[in-house]
Chain A
Amino acid sequence: MKVNGKQVSGNVEPRTLLVNFIRDGLNLTGTHVGCDTGHCGACTVMVDGKTVKSCMVLAVQAQGAEILTVEGLAEGDKLHPIQEAFWRNHGLQCGFCTPGLLMSGLYLLQKNPDPSDEEIRRGIEGNLCRCTGYVNVVKSVRAAAKSMREGEVGGA
């Protein structure tokens, strides 16, 4: 499979979860495990452009897939607009659920570049956060939407 643009491979027990392959096999520990049952969303990554809770998928199911984890968002020192937005809007406290929220937020914005607050809340509903009350997470996704839209206009 390709992870964050790099071709990777490994031999795993068939029952190995994708999240364990990412964390233990590839040492990409930014993707977290919070619940083992697909509810908390801390393990959310993109598989072929769609968000997937990587504790719910076997590593072998992702054979040949293209995967994006939180480590693949920034370009060098330059944060991705959604990371920048979370940083500037206090969209994280302990930071444990954040990688998953970044992925769900990004997926939402790819489908809907100008979401309402209600749409943002719906888009991140599958990611549990116990610290922020989601207030600044919603604000961050809104800000990211704006800067990503403006970025595209600026680039055009």
Chain B
Amino acid sequence: MTLTTTNSKPREDTPEGRLEDRRLLTGKGRFVDDLKLEGQAYMGMVRSPYAHAKINSIDFSKARSSPDFIASLTGEDLLKEGVSPLSQNPWPFQKRAKRYHLAVGKVRFAGEPVAAILVKSKNSVEDLIELVEVDYESLPVVTTIEESKQGKAIIYEEWGDNASLTNEVKKGDAEKAIASAAYVIHAREGIARQAAAPIEPHAVLASYDSKEDAYDVWATVQSVHGTRDKLASELKKPKEKFHVRVMDMGGGFGSKGAQSYPEAPLACIFARRTGLPVKWTATRSEEFLEAAAGRDEYCDITLACDKSGRIVALKARVECDSGVTGSQAHMPTMTIETMPGPYRIPNQDITVAAYVTNKMPLGPVRGAGGPEGCYFIERAVDLLAKKIGLDPIEFRRRNVSRQDGPAEGEVDFELLLDTLVKSSHYEELIQWRSDMYSRFMQQGPSHSSLIGGLGVSITGSDESDEEEEEEDWSGGSSGGEGGAGAGSKPWQSGGGSGGTAGEKWTAHPPGETGSAWQSGGSEGSGSWQNSGESSERREWPGAGEETLGFMSESARITLDKNGKVTVYTGSSPHGQGEETTFAQLASEELGVPLDWVTVVWGDTTLIPKGVGTYGSRSAATGGSAVVDASRKLKAQLLTRASQTLGVDAKSLEIRGGCLVNASRPDAVLATLNAVLEKQHADEVSASSVFTLGGMSYSSGVHLCALTLDAELGKVKIAKYVVVEDCGRMINKTIVEGQLHGGVLHAVGGALFERLAYDEEGNLLSSTFMDYNIPTALDSPDVEVFHETTPSTVTLNGAKGVGESGTNGSYGAVINALNDALSQVGTGIEFSMAPATPDAIFRALNASGAKPQPSA
């Protein structure tokens, strides 16, 4: 497919402020918890205090005696009700197990819901939860990968062991290449379990219409369509019976995405049983206990290069503590696929294994496996550069350069590095570090004595880097046939997003493919599209047809006779600004003023089919669908105008909402409204289901300059620079905002954030007091520079940028920290994130590690 849009500059008419902001700034946003229905009741979840225990009995008698009590549900009630277990997405290489919305017989993580109650007032929710008496019999608890491997307890008896997933990427002969390499490093690296932590907790409001036997559900979700499909599947009703909506949402970062949660279906059941509207809003602690966490991956890595500094082999073993089996335990696979990054390493031997533990299920968190892969390789690359004695930028340059330069559409990583050196004033930074060092040496370590450190990291892959692909594999939502015997065939997922550097996965089903691939009774939201050579466009579908896959998104665009343009999208913005960027795309393609355009999302009735916003997919996939629908509508308008005006459609253009002579755009022939009026058309519309023909990767290079207080272990980021190539920028301000936030998410992950558990599997960090996300004082003034290589697979040239900042930032921060430490000869290397002030302090103060001026 040839690229039609090559405009790499941001649009000149980019609006100064976003279109969604006014209501959000004046307190008029509509978040789910803001909504109220007459007579609504409140749902409360009774959660297990044990990480692994048998449930002997649940007694509601005390709760029932309260005048506020309305109803209760248990897992046994759900079995009687005939509810299907929580939906699981059809990842072919992951073992699965049935998990019900409320635990049946056994709890497997602390915080797992064992019962739900419905009460009359908000204030009494927690009181009545306390009155529910559950008799548990505790079981041995598995909290670490080691314990899981050793089988301290078998979490799913039917599996026989606790291994839940294996996968691998192999190429060449890594062993042999390592044996004969000039330089080799080994490292053990890892990122702790970390939370998505959107500031808005999960919430649901559900009501039931008994006449229609239909449900109206408002929920904090990144995909209303996925939620509708899961509700239909779990409650065994047609999809049309569920009207799922979301308007404003206070962040998601993956945790409100495809993961299956129990509360919306439970609220529906209560609503049907009682006839009352049902509201549930998570407390922050519930959010930490239940909302899918990410990372928790550890890697033994060996990286080797030849005498000239060319990387020749990568051998890595990744292990993941996946918690109990969830709907989305695919992130470790993303990790091993993204790990080679922009480096073309001829010999690769990367394996991954995930193990279940008695913790909440792992899910996608901003980057979804990508940050881990990027961090693992970038840390190792730094160690190897140090071993050879090469500047880390120079070492990377040698390994990203292409003999004949970048191919068309391929990101030029050398150029990105050049831009980084220039825009960060790298030479000055090296001087700064040297000056800091001199001062440190003169003063000796004291509270005022800081060490400077510099770290770089690259994230990304090339769209054209398809050489490793053998043949595309299409799983299909019904599953089995796709997984069986798939061997090691690459397949693609993710809707063209890009933040995550390479969502090209090798499907490698476990040996017992057939049985492992039994879905827990649902299709979830996954129907994987084959990626052919060219992108596919289809018409707007009805709800009843097959589910759209990750590579697809829907859009419909209407123009009414009053000049109002409405864009309906299957994407679902919650901070990404699609209300603005999609309006910009429609305005640009149609040739109408921006203020004609309104964007509508998050409504399964108005938009029968869609995929949602996650995996950095919206600008790429949703945006392409908007462009496609707009182009169709424009063609239709030009045809209509040619009939009305009696001229050839080819001689017409649309500018500023008027029909003009294509060769003389200042000559206005008619307004669009007049054309519609003449044709007696109240409204014209066009729609699209756009399927990307391949992945679209955003790439970037990061530089972090930080100071380390060698006495206190405190780190402060002094300067942070990103050079990003996210293709064509629809709105530069929004792109930069995504990068600022993405970077800080990983700064938190590199320096502060850890979901800590005790040996009994209790979560110790269940408030923002114990789980530190960065504040304004911790955050650097991230500087962003751009190169723009338009995507060759999206219609608008854009690549997804939502996760790219997060992918690249762990490595830059930890590498900078190690650079600072190395200058004072402490012999400490931090390869585990987060490197908290506490951990750094302890390491510095461990015997023999105390930094000393060497003079």
Q: Which residues of A are at the interface with B, using a C-beta cutoff of 8 A?
A: 13, 15-16, 20, 23-24, 27-37, 39-40, 42, 69-71, 73-74, 79, 83, 86-88, 90, 92-99, 102, 117, 120-122, 124-138
Contact = CB atoms under 8 A, between A and B. Distances in A.
A95 B199 contact: no
B775 A40 contact: no
Given A15-B123, A34-B250, A95-B575, A90 B18 contact: yes
A83 B25 contact: yes
B499 to A, nearest CB: 15
Contacts of B36: 24, 27
Contacts, number: 180
Given A95-B20, A129-B199, A130-B253, A30 B27 contact: yes
Given A35-B284, A70-B27, A138-B781, 18 more contacts: A29-B34, A32-B31, A35-B768, A36-B285, A71-B27, A86-B25, A87-B25, A90-B736, A94-B248, A95-B24, A95-B29, A96-B200, A98-B24, A124-B776, A128-B199, A135-B740, A136-B737, A136-B740
Per CB-CB distance, the 10 closest pairs between chain A and chain B, nearest first, are A30-B27, A96-B250, A95-B24, A94-B575, A133-B740, A39-B768, A133-B744, A29-B34, A93-B575, A70-B27
B737 A90 contact: yes
Given A34-B200, A74-B26, A92-B25, A132 B781 contact: no
Contacts of A24: 36, 122
B277 interface: no
Candidate in B16, B17, B248 with the most chain A CB atoms within 10 angstroms? B17
B283 A128 contact: no
Nearest to A139: B781
Report whether over half of chain B's contact residues are helix, strand or loop; otherwise say mixed. loop
Contacts of A92: 21, 24-25
A32 B220 CA distance: 14
A139 B245 CA distance: 34
Contacts of B609: none
28 contacts: A27-B36, A30-B27, A70-B27, A74-B26, A83-B25, A86-B21, A87-B25, A88-B17, A90-B18, A90-B733, A92-B24, A92-B25, A94-B250, A95-B20, A95-B575, A96-B199, A97-B199, A117-B781, A125-B775, A128-B199, A128-B768, A129-B776, A130-B197, A133-B742, A134-B740, A135-B737, A136-B740, A138-B776
Contacts of B744: 133-134
Contacts of B201: 33-34
Contact of B577 (A32, A36, A39, A93): A93
Nearest to A94: B575
Contacts of B768: 35, 37, 39-40, 128
B673 interface: no
Contacts of A73: 26
Contacts of B27: 28-31, 69-71, 99
B672 to A, nearest CB: 28
A32 B285 CA distance: 16
Contacts of A93: 251, 575-577, 737, 741
A39 B285 CA distance: 12
Given A29-B34, A30-B26, A40 B769 contact: no
Interface in B793-819: none
Given A128-B199, A131-B575, A137-B776, A34 B284 contact: yes
Contacts of A40: 199, 284, 768
Contacts of A20: 122-123
B743 interface: yes
Interface in B720-779: 733-734, 736-737, 740-745, 767-769, 773, 775-777, 779
Given A30-B29, A94-B249, A130-B197, A87 B779 contact: no
B198 A94 contact: yes
A97 B24 CA distance: 10
Report whether over half of chain A's contact residues are helix, strand or loop; otherwise say mixed. loop
A61 to B, nearest CB: 16
A102 B250 contact: no
Given A124-B776, A130-B773, A135 B781 contact: yes
Nearest to B24: A95
B755 to A, nearest CB: 15
Contacts of B743: 133
B463 interface: no
A134 B33 CA distance: 25
A11 B743 CA distance: 46
Contacts of B354: none
A92 B767 CA distance: 24
Given A94-B249, A129-B199, A121 B741 contact: no
B21 A87 contact: yes
B128 to A, nearest CB: 15
Contacts of B737: 90, 93, 131-133, 135-136
A90 B779 contact: no
Given A87-B17, A93-B741, A121-B777, A32 B25 contact: no
B745 to A, nearest CB: 7
A106 B531 CA distance: 51
A39 B769 contact: yes
B387 interface: no
A121 B776 contact: yes
A86 B248 CA distance: 18
B782 interface: yes
B28 interface: yes
A137 B741 CA distance: 11
Nearest to B26: A74
A82 to B, nearest CB: 9
Contact of A133 (B251, B769, B782): B782
Contacts of A74: 26
